[in-house]
């Protein structure tokens, strides 16, 4: 586990970590701290013991899904499968749950017996097609504990001052909700800065914030942190001691990792998605990312030319499929989230943890747009915004033309329908804020074709070298 160098004694941090935060979570009925301690113990188990636990959790999930959901009762009965599956490999006998199926079966996957749904979350997803996920409190609690464990491997323990260089959703229009967020962030010592503006003035402001706030850890979008690191290194602006930086949302590329180590300190990659949160995270051995085995089963799958689906071989890139072992309220079994990752053969990690590892991640790489002055803007800004209009659009794609104009292609929820005026105003306002000077329009389309790789790119930038082929860059520069 990374440990920051000694600094001036901090009194509030230990009190927050050991007294205030545990008491606050307990008051809200959240067993975050006990679950975190449990995960900090189980991470050292052998791989056989971890897989045995997974099998027990999988059987519990299938028993509940068969007894209390229409969808999985039909799936299991049609295949003649008992919920008491003999092995983890039996999971491969169940169908994959792609995004269209996820949405089409939402009601049929919802349980008719406790535990019932307590959280409903909408997400645009990396493919540009909005999805809705529902889960029970148990799943929520495990997600929170798993995130804190993964962050802890990178030096982010509860109580530390954290700068979140992240995408920012539009603030609530309700005063009490804004106030609640502000109080929560102050209590936890979190400073949030929008990573999408990447002009020199915006990057300089982040540098000043680092110098003033003095974070003990940084949590950031990978591409945003890479742009900031290039600026810091080029301008020789670093004045701080090592700050561990935890990266997510996009792949961490080797050259960017080197730059970020120069600009900040040790780099830790994390991988997750809003549907299940933390899927895997990197420890200080920096030898791939440990899977969150106690909370989910992660499969990496390859679709062969003959139509069969198989497990990816070590070193091979496969599609990520996830089974949430604690979501009994609306089971997600073998959910294909649209991401790609490299499979690894199992071998003990130098850190000593028994958890399996995967990586690197080959999905969710976004394009960098340019505003009217040619300044870089992170394309993830539109992923964030679509959460506001998820009930009005099935799919979307943002295309920046060779002349610098930007077109947002939208597949409406119902044929011939338009985005509501209020949502349209928010989109236009967002575009004006982050892409000033770039002509922006919305185009309604019937469908957005997949790329040759089978993915629907969220952001596409036309390249002058090949006007007829719109490609997405593999890294934002």
Residues 216 and 261 in one domain: yes
Q: Are 396 and 409 in contact (CB under 8 A)?
A: yes
- Within a domain: 470: no
Residues 147 and 254 in one domain: yes
Rounded-to-integer distance, Cα 233 and Cα 259, Å: 7
- Within a domain: 225: yes
In the prediction, which pLDDT does 339 show?
Answer: 83
Residues 211 and 330 in one domain: yes
Domain of 213, CATH number, reads 3.40.50.980
pTM given for the model: 0.77
- Within a domain: 121: no
Question: Contacts by 469-475 with C-beta closer than 8 Å and gap 24+?
Answer: 470/399, 472/365, 472/366, 472/367, 473/365, 473/367, 473/368, 474/365, 475/223, 475/226, 475/251, 475/253, 475/256, 475/365
One pLDDT digit (tens) per residue for the chain, 477 residues: 545 444 446 788 889 989 999 999 999 999 999 999 999 999 999 999 999 999 999 999 999 999 999 999 999 999 999 999 999 999 999 999 998 899 999 999 999 999 999 999 877 555 556 788 999 999 999 999 999 999 999 999 999 999 999 877 667 778 888 888 888 888 888 999 988 887 889 999 999 999 999 999 999 988 889 889 999 999 999 999 999 999 987 778 787 899 999 999 999 999 988 889 899 999 999 999 999 999 999 999 998 878 889 999 999 988 899 999 999 999 999 999 888 889 999 999 999 999 999 988 875 544 678 889 888 776 666 766 656 666 777 778 889 999 999 999 988 878 888 888 888 888 888 888 889 999 999 999 988 876 543 445 678 888 664 333 333 333 232
Rounded-to-integer distance, Cα 248 and Cα 364, Å: 10
Residues 405 and 345 in one domain: no
Please tell me the total count of domains within the chain: 2
Which of 296, 328, 358 terminates a domain? The answer is 358
Residues 185 and 256 in one domain: yes
Residues 372 and 353 in one domain: no
- Within a domain: 82: no
- Within a domain: 173: yes
Rounded-to-integer distance, Cα 203 and Cα 175, Å: 29
Q: Are 222 and 247 in contact (CB under 8 A)?
A: yes
- Within a domain: 378: yes
Q: Are 62 and 85 in contact (CB under 8 A)?
A: yes
In the prediction, which pLDDT does 56 show?
Answer: 97
- Within a domain: 97: no
Q: Are 369 and 383 in contact (CB under 8 A)?
A: no
Q: Over the stretch 325-350, which tens digit does the pLDDT of each residue have?
A: 999 999 999 999 888 889 999 999 99
Residues 345 and 372 in one domain: no
- Within a domain: 92: no
Rounded-to-integer distance, Cα 367 and Cα 458, Å: 8
Residues 452 and 304 in one domain: no
Element (H, E) at 280: strand 277-282
Distances (CA, A) of 191 to 143, 187, 217, 240: 22, 11, 11, 17
Domain of 379, CATH number, reads 3.30.300.30
Residues 199 and 159 in one domain: yes
Residues 315 and 176 in one domain: yes
Q: In DSSP terms, which residues pair with 301 in a beta bridge? A: 311, 319
Residues 215 and 335 in one domain: yes
Residues 200 and 240 in one domain: yes
Which of 303, 327, 358 terminates a domain? The answer is 358
Which of 358, 392, 425 terminates a domain? The answer is 358
Range of the domain at 205: 12-45+138-358
Q: Over the stretch 123-179, which tens digit does the pLDDT of each residue have?
A: 755 555 678 899 999 999 999 999 999 999 999 999 999 999 987 766 777 888 888
């Amino acid at each position: 586990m990374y440990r920051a160098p000694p600094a001036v004694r901090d009194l509030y941090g230990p009190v927050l970590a050991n007294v205030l935060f545990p008491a606050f979570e307990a008051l809200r009925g959240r067993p975050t701290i006990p679950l975190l301690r449990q995960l900090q113990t189980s991470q050292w188990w052998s791989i056989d013991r971890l897989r045995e636990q997974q099998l027990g959790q999988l059987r519990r999930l299938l028993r509940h899904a068969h007894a209390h959901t229409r969808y999985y009762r039909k799936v299991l009965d049609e295949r003649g499968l008992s919920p008491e599956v003999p092995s983890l490999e039996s999971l491969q006998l169940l169908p994959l749950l792609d995004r269209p199926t996820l949405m089409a079966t939402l009601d049929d996957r919802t349980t008719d017996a406790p535990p019932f749904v307590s959280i409903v979350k909408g997400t645009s997803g990396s493919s540009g097609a909005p999805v809705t996920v529902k889960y029970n409190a148990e799943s929520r609690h495990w997600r929170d504990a798993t995130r804190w464990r993964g962050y802890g491997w990178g030096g982010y323990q509860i109580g530390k001052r954290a700068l979140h260089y992240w995408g920012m959703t539009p603030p609530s229009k309700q005063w009490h909700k804004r106030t609640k967020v502000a109080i929560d962030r102050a209590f936890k010592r979190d400073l949030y800065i929008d990573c999408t503006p990447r002009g020199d003035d915006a990057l300089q402001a982040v540098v000043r914030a680092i110098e003033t706030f003095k974070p003990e850890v940084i949590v950031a979008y990978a591409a945003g942190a890479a742009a900031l690191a290039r600026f810091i290194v080029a301008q020789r602006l670093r004045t701080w001691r090592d700050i561990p930086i935890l990266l997510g949302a996009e792949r961490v590329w080797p050259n960017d990792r080197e730059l970020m180590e120069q600009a900040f300190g040790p780099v830790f990659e994390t991988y997750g998605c809003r549907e299940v949160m933390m899927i895997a995270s990197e420890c200080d051995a920096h030898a791939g990312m440990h899977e969150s085995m106690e909370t989910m089963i992660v499969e990496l799958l390859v679709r062969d030319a003959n139509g069969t689906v198989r497990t990816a071989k070590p070193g091979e890139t496969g599609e990520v499929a996830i089974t949430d072992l604690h979501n009994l309220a609306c089971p997600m079994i073998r959910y294909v989230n649209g991401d790609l990752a490299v499979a690894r053969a199992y071998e003990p990690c130098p850190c000593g943890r028994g958890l399996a590892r995967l990586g690197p991640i080959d999905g969710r790489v976004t394009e960098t747009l340019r505003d009217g002055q040619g300044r870089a803007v992170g394309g993830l800004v539109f992923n964030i915004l679509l959460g506001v209009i998820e009930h009005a659009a099935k799919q979307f794609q943002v295309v920046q033309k060779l002349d610098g104009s930007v077109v947002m292609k939208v597949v409406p929820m119902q044929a011939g329908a338009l985005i509501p005026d209020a949502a349209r105003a928010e989109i236009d306002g967002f575009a004006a804020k982050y892409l000033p000077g770039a002509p922006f329009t919305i185009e309604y389309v019937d469908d957005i074709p997949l790329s040759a790789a089978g993915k629907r790119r969220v952001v596409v930038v036309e390249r002058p070298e090949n006007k007829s082929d719109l490609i997405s860059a593999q890294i934002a520069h």
